Amino acid sequence: MLTLSTEHIRMRQQAANKEEALQILADILVADGLAIPAYLNGLKAREAQTSTYLGQGIAIPHGTPESRTSILNTGVRLVHFPDGVLWDGENQAYLAVVIAAKSDEHLQILQLLTRALSENIEQALRTAETPEQILSLLNAEPDSLLLHENLMSAGADAADIDDVLYQAAVLLKKQKVVAPGFLSALKPQDAVQLQDGLWCLTAEDAVLQPAVAIVKLKEPIPFRDGSLSALVCVASNDKLDLQRLSRLMDMLFQPEALQNSESRRELALAVGAETVPDWQSAGVVLANAHGLHARPATALANVCKEFDGEVKVSLDGGSYVSAKSLTKLLSLGAERGQTLTFIAEPGSEAEAGLPQIIQAVRSGLGEEVEAVGEAAHAAPEAGGNDAFAVEVAALQDDVRNQGVAASPGLAAGKAYLMKEVDFHYPHTAEDSEAERGKLQQAVADVKAELAQMVAQAKSKDIRQIFTAHAALLDDPDLLQQVDAGIRRQLSAAAAWHSHIEALAKEQEALNNPLLAGRAADLRDVGNKVMALLCGVKAAEEPQEPYILVMEDVVPSVVARLDQQKVAGILTAAGGASSHSAIVARALGIAAVVGAGEAVLSLPEGSTLLINGEDGAFYLNPAQSRIDEAMQQRALMQEQRKLAEAHCMEAAVTTDGHRVEVAANLGKVADAAGAVQRGAEAVGLLRTELVFMSHASAPDEAQQEKDYRVVFDAMGSRPVVVRTLDVGGDKPLPYLPLPKEDNPFLGERGLRMTLRRPQLLRQQLSALLKAADGRPLRIMFPMVGRLEEWHAAKAILDDALAETPCPDLQVGIMVEVPSVALIAGHLAKEVDFFSIGTNDLTQYVLAIDRGHPILSAEADGLHPSILQLISQTVAAAHRHGKWVGVCGELAADSKAVPILLGLGVDELSVSAGSIPLVKAQIRRLNTRECKELAAEALTCATAAEVRSLSSRNG
């Protein structure tokens, strides 16, 4: 791992330009035996591809992959240029962190520079006199021994020494001073007794920063030949300040050193540790599905601004930041399930307002508290001319291409490429006061424009997005940082652009795809101000209908679109959950996103045909294809009207075979509407959304009340209920679960509830009581093994002993491939199978169905999926059991005849799809469906299956 140290710093270097600076850097690397002179060519080649300027006066030059043959040894050098070097045509670099690395080790240095990119240290770097000052500014060399109140625990419960060691390791890991592996390095036999009941244990493995954690127990536990009432756990490495540790030990050797410390604060004071401000505090678990992104963060900042006095917030016990600063709130990267702790200045309005702040967070900050959706994962940037960069293939005329469906609809028109604006402006300015006035006027004008957009917006989603944008311009921290740049003689445009870009990069670096994607919002707002500062007019859209093509359409662009002219939207990047997709759906504009870089190189005058239903798009389609698409659109509209008129009729094929069509429900209140659309049953009640609708865990009585709403609406119709399916990617705010690297393969669904049997039993009891004699179908999600089914059934049998249910069937969801493969064994015991094709597809094909690049390849009509469905149906029917399909495939018009042909008995779809699915079934013949399914099972690809289905449609 690369590290930064004083011996690797060269102070007070001089260079007239970047070329001279690169020569100096290369000479230093050569002199220190890290590279040969030819490495200079690699440094120059990298700068020719893209500037390595990061922000705050820091550049991180490094060679291209091809130049790695010129590296002798891995290393890093920090070179100080107090007079600055113009690095990218507008920004001065005062520190160059030059890297010679044979792999991607330079990414570690980027992580070390996080603080430098988020705080205003440019001037301090420029005037630094010593290497120690440089390292202190970069925060690259942490304190030699961290003693902090957050590393203390008082009144802890423990049964044995293992519990104590675990708690100490958790304290250290939470503050990010140790890595995985530290706990296993703690050996009880190495503990040293400091005095009666007080022991000390040191470990060196997986230590990122020297630190001390103290765990004081409520009651002593037996240990060795005596007892343990408190443990001092030292995380040590070669940078440990032995003198400071010695002073700490001197205090701990004193009689009654910790005996009178009954709280975390008292422990910290007893050992001279840094303490959290002694202000009133309150904590709350963040329940928002997508974390603290722009809209809820805006709402939180606004709530806090209502009170005079300082309000600070920390994430999971970390450092505190201002809760009134939107950019600071966004920089937390807070995700659902994490804890926000607020503290307020004593005696202020803010202190009295803490309960209101907590309630605002608990209520969702203007958002509904719903289950976590699959956030779109941002695609990595291609590495310029790197040898392993993703190849961008040119699009061919009249050939189907695939993106991500973002907003439904069919649209055709000329391609209009809206390119990124290139702003030109002076880097410095003599009259700071005049620049300050320009910025204030530009910000005021943009705020007025945004206020007008909010007032004219027809959609709540659009209003919320632009309200969040306007709040960014009210952020005092942002404006202060920009003003600091102006005071350093930067022009208003240079100061504004530099800080906005630094904030955007900080957002992109967050370990949360949705929050990182909000960097586009920052740049959107930033560019609106830049346009006014630089006198750049917004591009005018064409007069005839067109398809807008961009890298990633920012919301303000979409909201300005003339819906009479824009036919659709096609973007190179983005996902179905991006702000652009939200706005496009709100405006009813067909959109396909994540289509790849090739769409940015379309020839002028190109024609596009896009399908927002399935993500397909065509370049220069044949006129016959366009005509067919428009006819299809008109036909679909007519078919829907006819289907809705007959939605209450049964779904019976032309040869008399009846198929039950049920509804997938996310909210209990939606049941009545599903019945009105022709639902013959509830095929999937997602009970996690019932849990999400409450700020705290609903008890059995509350659950029963919620479930009764569905049973009452459905009357005598069957209700299939999926037991609680949360965990990993879908945590409950009041049920904290450990963060998992791969949540789809972790503790979720039945795996989670079996580890919390009381939670499962309570839900089952509520369901049995709510059914009250009406047909109840219970199914367990994420079953992967026969043992899991047996364990769940045993808990249900226990609940049935108290609350019998005369009309009950019990089944499982087929989502994990292993279950489909042992369906023959399970079919002897279960009453039914319900195939969740969404998860089954992603597990079989190993493709995250929410991935913006790969999701289009996760097709449920792949022959491997059909083979598993066929095996499951065959096994079930041999034992007289029925099979339903409740995934998206059940509403796919190409899949419906194949599913019927495979013998599926029930299709469960969204309420809006029920009329169309019923209408399609009435046009089908069972014998023909079986022939189609048999042929589909012989296909090799999903594309072949879809083509086969189309030909037989």
Q: Which residues are catalytic?
A: 62, 293, 579, 886
Distance CA 133, CA 136 (A): 5
Please answer whether residues 827 and 881 qualify as being in contact, where contact means their C-beta atoms are separated by less than 8 angstroms.
Answer: yes
**Inter-helix orientation angle 914-922/623-645, to 10°:** 100
Please answer whether residues 596 and 617 qualify as being in contact, where contact means their C-beta atoms are separated by less than 8 angstroms.
Answer: no
Query: Which one, of 339, 556, 598, lies nearest residue 468 by Cα?
Result: 556
Distance CA 805, CA 775 (A): 9
Amino acid at position 594, single letter: G
User: Could you tell me the strand order of the sheet in which 410-417 lies?
Assistant: 401-402, 616-619, 607-611, 410-417, 546-550, 566-571, 590-593, 404-407
Distance CA 534, CA 524 (A): 15
CA distance from start to end of the chain: 59
Amino acid at position 949, single letter: S
Q: Give the HSE-up count for residue 729: Cα atoms under 13 Å, Cβ half-sphere.
A: 13
Which residues sit opposite 832 in a β-bridge? 811, 882
Structure tokens at 125: 């770097």
Longest dimension (CA), the chain: 92
Exposure of 758 by Cβ count < 10 A (0-12 exposed, 13-18 middle, 19+ buried)? exposed
Exposure of 144 by Cβ count < 10 A (0-12 exposed, 13-18 middle, 19+ buried)? middle
Residue 471: partners with Cβ closer than 8 Å, 6 or more residues away: 298, 301, 302, 326
Distance CA 80, CA 6 (A): 12
Mark out the alpha helices in 817-910 (DSSP H runs): 817-821, 823-826, 837-845, 863-878, 896-901
Q: Which residues of 833-871 are buried (b: 16+ CB within 10 A; e: fewer)?
A: bbbbbbbbbbbbbebbbbbbbbbbebbbbbbebbebbbb
**Which helix (H) or strand (E) covers residue 560, if one does?**
helix 555-560
Amino acid at position 517, single letter: G
Distance CA 855, CA 514 (A): 17
Distance CA 886, CA 906 (A): 8
To which residue do tokens 């695609």 refer?
379
Say how many C-beta atoms besides its own lie within 10 A of residue 253's C-beta. 11
Distance CA 814, CA 783 (A): 7
Please answer whether residues 53 and 17 qualify as being in contact, where contact means their C-beta atoms are separated by less than 8 angstroms.
Answer: no
Size (the chain), residues: 953
From residue 116, alpha-carbon distances to 125, 317, 505 in Å are: 10, 22, 12
Say how many C-beta atoms besides its own lie within 10 A of residue 878's C-beta. 12
